[in-house]
A and B are shown apart, each in its own frame.
Chain A
Amino acid sequence: MSGLRILVPIKRVLDYATKPRVNRTQTGIDLANAKHSMNPFDELSIEEAVRLRERKVPVAEILAFSAGPPKAQDVLRTAMAMGADRSIHVVVEERDALEPLGVAKLLKKVVEGEKSDLVILGKQSIDDDAAQTGQMLAGLLGWAQATQASSVSISAENMVTVTREVDGGVETLKAKLPMVITTDLRLNEPRYASLPNIMKAKKKLLEKKTLKDYGLDEKIRLKTVRVTEPPPRKGGVKVEDVDGMISKLKELGAL
């Protein structure tokens, strides 16, 4: 075994601290001029890949990948500044954005082309909150999967032990590589890219490709009917003291 070839797919999303606003035509979220950054769960994926290498697991390569608008190369640069060796950017304009199934099909081709043996994805992207891509990819490849990982270790025999977050606690799984892992918040604390590393990342290879290069022609299956604001909660009251709170809660029928 010459070392792991890790693929880390990442997504450029509206920054988590930004409050999304529904556009006036109710067709989507107003994304123009809003701050974007790497999906927080994807930062964990990059971090985990880099940490595997630091933990002396033989890692041949960490490849960051993104399918998204031209600006998605910013998040790929960030990934390389954090420690990814090179990256591939499949340029997909916003209006042609792929659905998770399309992304999974694309990733399958990338995995086959790059001979990856471990794919680490975020458990969900914070824009569409679908939480599907990793599982779909594992299904298409017929690989083992471990979702919502909070701890990952790899033995010399390519045996991967993953602790995953489940309802009510954690469970531990074991599988042999190749496999797909999705990250949970508890997995690690992503590092900040240092200035020298950001400069170095500019020299790392970033390949631009198109969907055609992968021979993919995936139709969109889901049509957005409309996007609306959630119903606002009625403004409540502030009470003076604990007694006030108890009587108000009684009044509202909550006690």
Chain B
Amino acid sequence: MFSIARKSALRQARTQLRLSQATPISQHSALARLLSTLAVLEQKDGKLNTSSLAAVTAGTKLGGSVTAFVAGSGVKSVADQTAKAQGIEKIIYVENGAYDRGLPENFAPLLVENIKKGGFTHVFAGHSAFGKNLMPRVAALLDTQQISDITAIESEDTFVRPIYAGNAILTVQSSDAIKILTVRGTAFPPPELEGGSAAVEEGVDPKAECQTEWVSEDLAKSDRPDLGSAERVVSGGRGLKSKEEFDRIMPPLADALGAAIGASRAAVDSGFADNSLQVGQTGKNVAPQLYLCAGISGAIQHLAGMKDSKVIAAINKDPEAPIFQVADVGLVGDLFDKVPELTEKLKVL
């Protein structure tokens, strides 16, 4: 009895304390003045990777000022162009060819210097190969626990991210002074590239040494839209049986729809498709308007990468395939008949 009374008295006191705090509005604006975001942009051969602008979008959603950061050779012009993107107040650029390949051994110290100099409270970067490679190193150097692949911002210290291959959604609150975050591109659409007028400023360059040497790259050439940002994606799985069949059946369908091509891990592992096309927990996350897949059973690792698509369509000969549980439109049938038929009929549309 006594303990109950004590508890409720405590609760009452707490409630009163909460009520006596400043109103949420003034608190918010006070915070907004203090918040300052650094959005790390990616560039390649003097061209901005526009999907990295998702970091800017995240910054604008947070409130407070947004500064963008870009480094490499010839980045002054990248900065000048990007200055038109909406939501950016200032762009810091560091002109130095040593940063062209985004190697974290020298890029991380570079970022750390510029974060410290600018006194940023939040640093956002895309959860791309570049961001994944670089940002944890930056976080460790700043002694802060990074939050990866966020899909939403609840407040200046509380963020939402998928865990367990997207089977659970975690809301997490950070107590670190500087928040380092990577953002899921499909959850933060890039801003308009017109109408903005950011100031362009040169950043500090600590010229840290880089222990790794970049040797070469081999990028899959494609005239199709980029898988990560395509409006439509067609995706093939183990059901296609061979690389020859994959190459015979999927590209015409992609062309008919103006879609990017994706693949399941089974298709990639069997050598039907290039690894860069893999959709899923260990590959790319996509969220197109239309995700049309054929010969994919729908393992949880695959679903992790595509279940935020607006419309999912599936063709599979197994009526029990788990893909049908998430597909908006399902067709049970042999993909070797159905896909070419679909391709022909889409061409006439």
Whether the pair A132, B149 counts as a contact (CB closer than 8 A) is no
**Which of B137, B300, B326, B329 meets A252, CB within 8 Å?**
B329
Whether the pair A169, B212 counts as a contact (CB closer than 8 A) is no
Whether the pair A168, B265 counts as a contact (CB closer than 8 A) is no
* CB-CB nearest in chain A for B315: A245
Whether the pair A245, B174 counts as a contact (CB closer than 8 A) is no
Chain A residues in 8 Å Cβ range of B325? 233, 235
A146 close to B (CB within 8 Å): yes
Q: Can you sample 15 A-B contacts with CB below 8 Å?
A: A19-B300, A20-B164, A22-B168, A129-B161, A129-B162, A167-B276, A172-B217, A175-B211, A175-B213, A222-B145, A223-B174, A228-B169, A229-B167, A230-B166, A254-B289
- Given A236-B328, A255-B349, are A139 and B168 neighbors across the interface (CB < 8 Å)? no
Whether the pair B172, A243 counts as a contact (CB closer than 8 A) is no
Q: Which of B10-24 contact A (CB under 8 A)?
A: none
Whether the pair A255, B290 counts as a contact (CB closer than 8 A) is yes
Whether the pair A129, B290 counts as a contact (CB closer than 8 A) is no
Q: How far is the CB of A143 from chain B (nearest CB, A)?
A: 7
A2 close to B (CB within 8 Å): no
Scan B188-230; emit 1 where CB is below 8 A from any A CB, else 0.
Answer: 0000000000000000000000011111111110000010100
The count of chain A contact residues (Cβ–Cβ below 8 Å) is: 81
Scan B259-282; emit 1 where CB is below 8 A from any A CB, else 0.
Answer: 000000100010000111000011
B324 close to A (CB within 8 Å): yes
A45 close to B (CB within 8 Å): no
Q: Give the complex CA separation of A241 and B35 in angstroms.
A: 55
Whether the pair A145, B104 counts as a contact (CB closer than 8 A) is yes
Whether the pair B215, A221 counts as a contact (CB closer than 8 A) is no
Whether the pair A238, B275 counts as a contact (CB closer than 8 A) is no
* CB-CB nearest in chain A for B327: A236
Chain A residues in 8 Å Cβ range of B226? 168
Chain B residues in 8 Å Cβ range of A124? 282
B128 close to A (CB within 8 Å): yes
Whether the pair B217, A166 counts as a contact (CB closer than 8 A) is yes
Whether the pair B148, A224 counts as a contact (CB closer than 8 A) is no
Q: Which of B96-151 contact A (CB under 8 A)?
A: 101, 103-105, 108, 128-130, 132-141, 143-149
Q: Which of A196-255 contact B (CB under 8 A)?
A: 221-230, 233-246, 248-249, 252-255
Whether the pair B345, A242 counts as a contact (CB closer than 8 A) is yes
A16 close to B (CB within 8 Å): yes
| B→A interface (CB under 8 Å) | 101, 103-105, 108, 128-130, 132-141, 143-149, 154, 158, 161-176, 211-220, 226, 228, 232, 265, 269, 274-276, 281-282, 284, 289-290, 300-301, 307, 310-313, 315, 319, 324-333, 338, 341-342, 345-346, 349
A167-B130, A237-B328, A239-B330 given. 5 additional CB < 8 A pairs? A139-B139, A140-B140, A147-B132, A185-B282, A233-B312
Q: How far is the CB of A132 from chain B (nearest CB, A)?
A: 4
Whether the pair A100, B146 counts as a contact (CB closer than 8 A) is yes
Q: Give the complex CA separation of A128 and B167 in angstroms.
A: 11
Chain A residues in 8 Å Cβ range of B108? 139
**Which of A145, A150, A168, A237 meets B330, CB within 8 Å?**
A237
Q: How far is the CB of A239 from chain B (nearest CB, A)?
A: 5
Whether the pair B164, A129 counts as a contact (CB closer than 8 A) is yes
Q: Which of A91-120 contact B (CB under 8 A)?
A: 99-101, 104
Whether the pair B326, A144 counts as a contact (CB closer than 8 A) is no
A14 close to B (CB within 8 Å): yes
Whether the pair B326, A233 counts as a contact (CB closer than 8 A) is yes
* CB-CB nearest in chain A for B290: A254
Chain B residues in 8 Å Cβ range of A167? 128-130, 228, 276, 284
Instruction: Across the A-B interface, give the 7 residue pairs with the lowest CB-CB distance, nearest first.
Output: A169-B219, A135-B136, A139-B140, A139-B137, A136-B140, A132-B136, A221-B145
A53 close to B (CB within 8 Å): no
Chain A residues in 8 Å Cβ range of B312? 233, 236
Chain A residues in 8 Å Cβ range of B169? 227-230
Whether the pair B170, A245 counts as a contact (CB closer than 8 A) is no
Chain A residues in 8 Å Cβ range of B163? 29, 127-129, 227
Q: Give the complex CA separation of A171 and B149 in angstroms.
A: 23
Whether the pair B166, A138 counts as a contact (CB closer than 8 A) is no
Whether the pair B173, A222 counts as a contact (CB closer than 8 A) is yes
- Given A129-B162, A136-B136, A254-B290, are A230 and B167 neighbors across the interface (CB < 8 Å)? yes
Q: Give the complex CA separation of A249 and B312 in angstroms.
A: 9
Whether the pair B276, A168 counts as a contact (CB closer than 8 A) is yes
**Which of A144, A229, A236 meets B105, CB within 8 Å?**
A144
* CB-CB nearest in chain A for B173: A223
